[in-house]
Structure 1
Amino acid sequence: MPSAHPYVQAVTDRRLVDLAPDPPVPGATDGRWWPPVALTAPWIDDNAPRLDVLHVHFGLESSAPDDLVAALTAARERGLAVVYTVHDLDNPQLTDQSPYLALLDVIIPAADRLVTLTADAASEVERRWGRTCEVLPHPLLTADSGESGVPAPSDPAPRRVGLHLRDLRPNIDAAAAVAVAVAAADLLTTAGTRVLFDILLNERARDADLAARLQAIAASHPSVQLRRTPRMTDAAVEAWLAGLDLFVLPYRHGTHSGWVELCFDLGVPVAGTPVGHIAAQHPSSFATLDLDDPSTIVDAVERARAARQAADRPTARRERRRARMRERDEVRAAHAALYRGAMEDVARARRAGELLRVGEGRR
């Protein structure tokens, strides 16, 4: 869960795994899965007879620790295997990480199997909790991986640099990002490099005063534009990214990023702050930047167009697409094998009378 999430759909081979739909959320619009009803003890008790595995991906922050303990205890008592994919060791929706850490301290020791996206994240889990994760890379999500649609930018068009500030969620350092974009734009234009920083911000933002300040900062340079947009569809996001030379991730904290995966599939280089394990997802197309040093963005911009054009060559697109399709097949098969193994472990433990209490942990 959540079964409707694009990542969950991507890692599931529907020929081998029957993915239960997300239960409706009381009072929510159709299609909204959060807060996840499937991660509650009553739902698990009611639905356990038709389930074998509870796989938790996202939405953990919607639970209180006691409620999470109750849900995992219900799964354990009903004989369900519990799998947890450690996407986030720091939650991007939160500033104070202590409530989220309390939840990780419940689910990471309790899960039968753990998965994460990078070896670096697996090492952190091992160091902090003494648990071993299976490392399975983030699979292909894009519809065409750059096979069609918007071509890569070319000379003499301005270098196009994209930033998406979303709804100003806590892990995005929006003020520093816009300020450094203005400073980098000034350095680039002074050096004779034409550039356009295209900064997107959702119409519905968490902080209206900050949104207004960001617009004022962006307006101070003609090569920086800040656009307020409705929530974009996946297709619209892909089309926008495909028209960029460089995408910038101005994160304060984080662990992994779906943006990095989308950009890799579209051949768009990424420059981001050195937080979490984002750089380990696709190191060959990731440049580290410092939001206090505009020269780091300047350097990334200067290198980006050649890299972008090379990635957009038809042979490069085809090879990248084939490799990512093979990888997705391997990730799906690995998940199906993971579920079988977790189910066998739980069945063996139950036969031996080794039903562990939530919180005891296991290797």
Structure 2
Amino acid sequence: MPDAPPEQWWPPVAMTGQWLSENAAEYDLLHVHFGLESFTPDELRAGLDAARLAGRPVVFTVHDLDNPQIVDQEPYRELLNVIVPAADHLITLTPSAAAEIERRWRRASTVLAHPTLLEQTAADSRVSRAGTVRVGIALRDLRPNIDAEGAVRAAARAAGLLEAAGQAVEIEVLMNDRVRDDRAAERVIDAADGHAAVRMRRTPYLSDAEIEEWLRGLDLFVLPYRHGTHSGWVELCYDLGVPVAGTDVGHIRSQHPSEFCVIDLDDPRTLAAAVTWVHRSPASSSPRATHLANRRAERQQQRRAIRAAHARLYSDAVAGVRTHAAAGIQA
């Protein structure tokens, strides 16, 4: 949106029926990722109809089967019930998500993993601290799908268990200065229970570069979701060679299962076990620099394959529409 403040979210105008009709000559295909919740089902349907009338195929990447920004999922499911059956092609990120889509809508999806989120090789910024495991939790602005209070309470209790077992741990919890619920933020701080190993840090909105730098200094990242489907955090951690401990929701564990440890925030023993698991994860199986170099090469090769797969899908989609249109004219 012109003149919008940095980081400001605006509804995607390119999804409106008017824009799609008026700009039909400017695009060959409509690929939808996010932003469905900005529209009503009728508005979404109008946009899809406009693309269809213009003879433009629609591709929908089903990243979210549950919307992380809202609590009541019913309005979002209504939107999915509009676009999933109507799209010419569906993409999703994991085989397990594709299986859920098949069960719910009887539609096949092309599975294309999420590509790397980094443009440059990740450097290791960790400082060795004699066996201390550094754990990070990012609560940001306390969006609805994050169990912030439960995560901090579990962290404090897990830290106690680990210290009793002789394992040193430092847990840093980041929370934005500006949050959606100030009272909830107070409860989150109280949940740390003053434990010395749990450091609460309020921050301004962090840039992508600042988040990456913070993650590079961790041995384990905790993802305390109540609901969700896939996670960009998991992808970024994989890029940086940081294992993830997270709740078992959606299809997040399927993104990189070898570097994801399932935890239960109601049972701090599972988080304590995840801290000890760090030493057995693939990230610890080779020297740090070697691991990052191999990971970067893997992700760059994967990105090239994903780009090629998208290009083929786009070409097939456009060709299919043109073939169908030509057959209609001949008929």
Q: What TM-score, normalized to structure 2? A: 0.95
1:274 aligns with 2:248: yes
1:338 maps to 313
Aligned residue for 2:328, secondary structure, equals coil
Report if aligned partners of 1:187, 1:298 keep a CA contact under 8 Å in 2: yes
> What do residues 194-249 of structure 1 show as CA deviations (whole Å, max 9, x unaligned)?
11110111111111001011112225211111111111111111111111111011
Q: Which amino acid aligns with 1:88?
A: D
1:31 CA drift (Å): 6.5
Cα 1:31/1:94, change in 2 over 3 Å:
closer
CA distance in 1, matches of 2:199, 2:168: 14
1:32 CA drift (Å): 4.2
Q: 1:99 aligns with which of 69, 75, 91?
A: 75
1:309 CA drift (Å): 3.9
Q: Which amino acid aligns with 2:100?
A: E
2:296 maps to 321
1:289 aligns with 2:263: yes
Q: Name which of structure 1's ranges 199-208 and 297-306 shifts more when overlaid on structure 2.
A: 297-306
> What do residues 297-324 of structure 1 show as CA deviations (whole Å, max 9, x unaligned)?
1111012145444465222222211111
Report if aligned partners of 1:154, 1:305 keep a CA contact under 8 Å in 2: no
CA distance in 2, matches of 1:306, 1:64: 47
> What do residues 58-103 of structure 1 show as CA deviations (whole Å, max 9, x unaligned)?
1111111000000000000011111000000000001000000000
Higher relative contact order (CA 8 A, sep 6+): 1
1:187 maps to 161
Q: Which amino acid aligns with 1:174?
A: A
1:48 aligns with 2:24: yes
Q: 1:206 aligns with which of 180, 192, 203?
A: 180
1:145 CA drift (Å): 4.4
Q: Which amino acid aligns with 2:130?
A: P
CA distance in 1, matches of 2:143, 2:121: 27
Q: CA RMSD in A?
A: 1.7
> What do residues 26-69 of structure 1 show as CA deviations (whole Å, max 9, x unaligned)?
x8436745211111011111111111011001111111100000
1:87 maps to 63
CA distance in 2, matches of 1:131, 1:320: 33
Cα 1:30/1:195, change in 2 over 3 Å:
closer
1:161 CA drift (Å): 0.7
Q: Which amino acid aligns with 1:327?
A: Q
1:254 CA drift (Å): 0.6
2:225 maps to 251
Aligned residue for 1:103, secondary structure, equals helix
Q: Which amino acid aligns with 1:120?
A: S
CA distance in 2, matches of 1:39, 1:194: 51
Q: 1:176 aligns with which of 142, 150, 165?
A: 150
Report if aligned partners of 2:124, 2:289 keep a CA contact under 8 Å in 1: no
CA distance in 1, matches of 2:268, 2:117: 32
1:275 CA drift (Å): 0.5
Q: Which amino acid aligns with 1:106?
A: V
Cα 1:112/1:90, change in 2 over 3 Å:
same
Q: What TM-score, normalized to structure 1? A: 0.87
Q: 1:351 aligns with which of 307, 326, 331?
A: 326
1:227 maps to 201
CA distance in 2, matches of 1:38, 1:31: 18
1:65 aligns with 2:37: no
1:143 CA drift (Å): 3.1
Q: Name which of structure 1's ranges 101-110 and 194-203 shifts more when overlaid on structure 2.
A: 194-203
Aligned residue for 2:91, secondary structure, equals strand
Aligned residue for 1:301, secondary structure, equals helix
- List alignment gaps of at least 5 residues for structure 1: 1-23, 355-363
Q: Which amino acid aligns with 1:74?
A: A
